[in-house]
Amino acid sequence: MINNLKNITKCSCGHTIDDPMIVAKTKYSKWGWFLLSMAFSAMPKEVVFQCQQCGDIIDTSTDPDVLEKYRYNSDISK
Ligand SMILES: [Zn+2]
């Protein structure tokens, strides 16, 4: 039996990483928040991919390229 779905993560309501319902959000360290509040540009420490419908986080990344790509996205805590 071939399991093609092995590496496809779905949230509780069935969305995958390619679905528009899955939105990348940034996570900052406390130091990052401090820099942001001082109007410096801080890089997030992590990007998470969260379903806007059920709130599940189906993937995270700390890859510098991914952090750069999504650094202006809204923060997960908002
Ligand atoms: Zn969902």
pTM, entire model: 0.77
Residue with tokens 């949230």: 11
User: pLDDT tens per residue, the chain (78 residues)?
Assistant: 555 555 679 999 999 999 999 999 999 887 766 766 776 667 899 999 999 999 999 999 999 999 999 998 998 875
CA distance 71 to 43: 6
Quote the domain boundaries for residue 51. 1-76
Distance 67 CA to ligand 1 centre (A): 23
Note the pLDDT of residue 4.
54
Distance 43 CA to ligand 1 centre (A): 27
Distance 4 CA to ligand 1 centre (A): 21
Query: 51 near 21, Cβ under 8 Å?
Result: yes
Distance 5 CA to ligand 1 centre (A): 17
In the chain, the number of structural domains is 1
Token pair belonging to 16: 């995958």
Distance 35 CA to ligand 1 centre (A): 32
Token pair belonging to 59: 């993937």
What spatial distance separates the first Cα and last Cα of the chain, rounded to whole Å? 43
Token pair belonging to 61: 């990344």
